[in-house]
Amino acid sequence: MNSSDGSGDNELLRENPPKNTTFLIILTITAAIGGFLFGYDTGIIGGANLYIYDDLGYKTPVVLETVVSLAVIGAMFGALAAGPLSDIKGRKPTIIAADCAFVTGSILMASAPNIWVLMLGRFIVGLGVGSAAMVVPIYLAESAPRELRGTIVSINVLFTTSGQLIAYCVCLSLEDHWRWMLGIGAIPAIIQVIGMFFLPESPRFLYKVGKLEQGLKALLHIRYSLLYRKYEYIEEEVKGIMQSIKEEGNHSYKHQFKLLYKNCKRSAMVGIGLQCLQQLCGINTAMYYGPQIMQVAGFDSSGREAIIASIPIAFANMVGTFISVWYVDRLGRRSTLLYTIPFMVTFLLSLGASFVFITFFSVVEFIQYLAVFSLLVYILFFSVGMGTCPWIVNSEIYPLNLRSAATSASTTANWVSNFVVSMTFASAISFDAGRVGIWIILAGFGVISWFWVYKLLPETKGKSLEEILTIFQTGKELD
């Protein structure tokens, strides 16, 4: 087979007929379990913390923030490590390695005899979560047809929000059994390890490392569906991939960062900026500290009642993500963000106003429901736009030879911002001014997000990864 221009592909195409019309669905669901693990860990710690206090004997905001944030610190390192690992070993082995870390950490947390072992388990789980958050969107984007890429990558986020909802339900079902809450997370990780052994490597990665025949076989296996029966479509995609590799070359991981700064400043600004702003808009204040927010809003202070009141938070997040899955490839990434962010900001300000009455005027009975309503609507609009689009955009906007380094950097930026929020929120809501001011600050970051998208982000829907790269290099769609 001619490796330079894709000629000779027809012969191999005919030698390897498509196998399964449902394979793309199976691949998407199996890979998206990585998103589920991310969501489960985010949701389960909020409920488990209500009971760990009594068992292991700690109850200060600083210790609570540390337990939550250690997973975030681990995720930073996991995201950084996953970049070179996915470039050297591949996307698929990196996902499996992330699962192994999650299983190990879950077992440590479930069996922790003291707070220190629990913290170690949290850190190791974070390594797995951060690695998966970095590599799964790349694997899905590199495997997906361009017309469905936004939908398929956003399904990973849908699994994340589903994991959060299921985590709250598990907390409710296993009241007082926090070890089981934390240990159960190992089960989906084990399922994903088994499933990944039956999936191919990313076709683009295989082409990148010179495994041309394996890359074409993987592409055929994944692409075959009622929409993609024509060989011409795959031939066109193969030629685009090969041309991209020829033009971009292959570089060491360290050199990738230099090229990212030198040649892809705009892509890096958009991608890293969106990932930071996603967290600074405050979504994980609700996900990590949902039960605590309910208590501050005046609901029953018992663990069970706080968890029950928090379940709608996770449900709203999942519903919004489902809406995004349905519309993101129809409406587009840019338009979705520009339409949803203003609503998000409005209801963050409404939430802040609610806590003014609850905190300073002791008006609780009606206002507590206004606070919950504002929180739910904020989460709904967040999950439609800022919850999904930054992950989709970051899986699309970098050249193939820099994709691992760039996505690693942007995912790490997400976790750094996540750490800032998770390490300060419990302290912020422990005093009166903080209970009001925190929501106003988050709304301010929402305003910054809108202008960031308006000024910097072109539309990427319906375009090949190679076409998107051209747009970012020329800026023609922003003129």
Closest CA to 152 of 163, 162, 165, 137: 137
Q: What is the 3-state secondary structure (H, E, C) of the chain?
A: CCCCCCCCHHHHHHHCCCCCCCHHHHHHHHHHHHHHHHHHHHHHHHHHHHHHHHHHHCCCHHHHHHHHHHHHHHHHHHHHHHHHHHHHCCHHHHHHHHHHHHHHHHHHHHCCCCHHHHHHHHHHHHHHHHHHHHHHHHHHHHHCCHHHHHHHHHHHHHHHHHHHHHHHHHHHHCCCCHHHHHHCCHHHHHHHHHHHCCCCCCHHHHHHCCCHHHHHHHHHHHHCCCCCCCHHHHHHHHHHHHHHHHHHCCCCHHHHHHHHHHHCHHHHHHHHHHHHHHHHCCHHHHHHHHHHHHHHCCCCCCHHHHHHHHHHHHHHHHHHHHHHHHHHHHHCHHHHHHHHHHHHHHHHHHHHHHHHHHHHCCCCCCHHHHHHHHHHHHHHHHHHCCCCHHHHHHCCCCCHHHHHHHHHHHHHHHHHHHHHHHCCHHHHCCCHHHHHHHHHHHHHHHHHHHHHHHHHCCCCCCCCHHHHHHHHHHCHHHC
Q: Residue 343 and residue 377: Cα distance in Å, rounded?
A: 8
pLDDT the model gives residue 58: 66
Angstrom CA distances, 367 to 64, 349, 371, 380, 387, stand at 27, 14, 6, 20, 27
Q: What does the pLDDT read at residue 17?
A: 43
**pLDDT tens digits, 9-38:** 445 444 444 443 578 889 999 999 999 999
> What CATH number labels 12-478?
1.20.1250.20
Q: Which residues contact 108 (CB under 8 A, 6 or more apart)?
A: 117, 118, 120, 121, 124
Query: Which pLDDT value is given to residue 19?
Result: 42
Provide the residue ranges of all domains of the chain, joining segments of one domain with +.
Answer: 12-478
Site of tokens 């892809």 = 264
Rounded to whole angstroms, the Cα distance separating 184 from 95 reads: 19
Q: For residue 470, what pLDDT is reported?
A: 83
Q: ∠ CA 281-306-277 to the nearest 5 degrees?
A: 5
What's the pLDDT tens digit per position in 50-72? 778 777 766 676 777 788 889 98
Low-confidence ranges of the chain (pLDDT < 70): 1-21, 57-59, 61, 224-233, 244, 247-256, 300-303, 475-479
Both tokens of 470, joined, read 């051209």
User: What's the confidence (pLDDT) of residue 301?
Assistant: 60
CA distance 322 to 170: 21
Given a contact cutoff of 8 angstroms between Cβ atoms, the answer to whether 297 and 372 are in contact is yes
Distances 182 to 105, 164, 195 between C-alpha atoms, Å: 9, 13, 22
pLDDT at 225: 47
Picking from 233, 155, 96, 115, the residue whose alpha carbon sits closest to that of residue 392 is 155
